[in-house]
Amino acid sequence: MAEKLQGQTISYKNPPHIIAHGSIVGPEEGKGPLGDSFDLVCEDVKCEEKTWEKGEKKMVADLIELTLGKASISASDVDFLIAGDLLDQIITANFVSRDYDIPFLGIYGACSTAVEALALGSMKMDGGYADCILCFASSNYQTAERQFRTPLEYGVQYTGNNQWTVTGAGAYLLGWIGGKVWITHSTIGKVIDLGIKDANDMGAAMAPAAADTILQHFTDLNRGPQDYDMIITGDLAGIGKKILTSLLEEKNIKTGNKLQDCGAMIFGGKKKYGAGGSGCAASAVIIGSVIIPQIISGKLNRVLVIGTGALLSPLSVLQNESVPGIAHAVVIEKIPEE
């Protein structure tokens, strides 16, 4: 019966188009090397709200309006929202969705959330359950630091292997008509735990999950790096990317320059940001605003996108649990011209 499933990979018979995508980032991301790529850069990280959390909500609300506007679609044409974020009880996604008269599915995949949403959205589209879905995910440096680690006011010194949560949000509108790229496959990952216990060292915690999902994807479709123009992970950052490269080489998979990481790209390797960016927004803003334009322009044709998540909570760290990782993948490619 499951004629679209091989191993962990789903092949879509009716691949949904990404008909519009939008990105919004904070001031630090705006100053980075990709700053000009994003649709909106907020100079004020609170977006003139009273708290960082309310600022994150405002950012996402603005993003949704922007994304719907790009596609000239009104909210009433959207069948479902699929979204999540890093905050406890995904309050950003919940509270933003409150302002829309659209059925909402809340998900939590840590920093893999944007790709989890795209994978679930693709299934809903291909399965005949929807004609238009809005997927979104957000994160914020200030809200994440005080929730997961220490309040910024403490002025804790970073260790160097730490990552800097990307402030921003990305949205993707799935539909049937008018897109130039589509989602052809998705690979749902397993929870993988190699016993990392340092809540700062998330790249190391997530790299084994990314390796597992990439290898599984290649096995399922009988493909390899030669079948992709780029293989891009979400937020392994500098350290995690090196570990992933080694893990793949151990299995005789050489990715060379094809392997990229959104977290390693967004701050241009500046020391201030530790090993690089992290958070749902890292992949959510870069896939839409940096990678998809390269597919549309013809520079890339087929890209394997791997969302990576570190599955920790402040409580799990206090209770001496390790940090497992998870990685979900989607294949985004140019829609062939007829």
| Binding span for a copy of itself by CB under 8 A among 1-9, 17-25, 224-232, 244-252 | 1-9
Euclidean distance between the first and final Cα of the chain, in Å? 31
Residue 100 interacts with a copy of itself (CB under 8 A): yes or no: yes
x/- contact string, 177-206, with a copy of itself (CB under 8 A)?
A: -----------xxxxxx-------------
Query: Using CB under 8 A, which of 53, 56, 62, 261 touches a copy of itself?
Result: 53
Residue 51 CB, shortest distance to a copy of itself, in Å, is: 6
Q: Does 87 bind a copy of itself (CB under 8 A)?
A: yes
Rounded least distance, CB 5 to a copy of itself, Å: 5
3-state secondary structure of 8: coil
Q: Do residues 165 and 275 touch, judged by C-beta distance below 8 A? A: no
CA distance 275 to 287: 20
CB 228 within 8 A of CB 246: no
Asked if 235 contacts 278 with a C-beta cutoff of 8 angstroms, the reply is yes
Nearer Cβ to a copy of itself (23/216):
216
272 CA to centre of own chain:
22
Does 138 engage in binding with a copy of itself (CB under 8 A)? no
Residue 180's SS3 state is: coil
**Between residue 61 and residue 80, which ones bind a copy of itself under the rule CB under 8 A?**
79-80
Out of 5, 44, 150, 227, which residue is the one contacting a copy of itself (CB under 8 A)?
5
| Residue 45 in contact with a copy of itself, rule: CB under 8 A | no
Site string for a copy of itself, 283-312 (x = CB under 8 A): ----------------------------xx
Q: How many CA atoms lie within 13 A of 32 on its CB side?
A: 30
Q: Tell me: does residue 90 bind a copy of itself (CB under 8 A).
A: yes
Shortest gap between Cβ of 45 and a copy of itself (angstroms)? 16
Q: What is the DSSP string of 269-334?
A: T-GGGBT-EESHHHHHHHIIIIIHHHHHTTS-SEEEEEEEEE---HHHHHTT----EEEEEEEEEE
Give Dmax (Cα) for the chain: 58
Single out the segment in contact with a copy of itself by CB under 8 A; choices: 33-41, 50-58, 273-281, 282-290.
50-58
Q: Choose, by CB under 8 A, the member of 69, 103, 160, 268 that binds a copy of itself.
A: 103
Answer yes or no: are the C-beta atoms of 156 and 149 closer than 8 Å.
yes
In order of 30, 132, 257, the CA distances from 25 in angstroms are 6, 25, 26
Contact residues: a copy of itself, CB under 8 A: 1-5, 8, 10, 14, 51, 53-54, 79-80, 84, 86-91, 94-95, 97-98, 100-110, 116, 120, 123-131, 147, 176, 188-193, 311-316, 319, 321, 324, 326
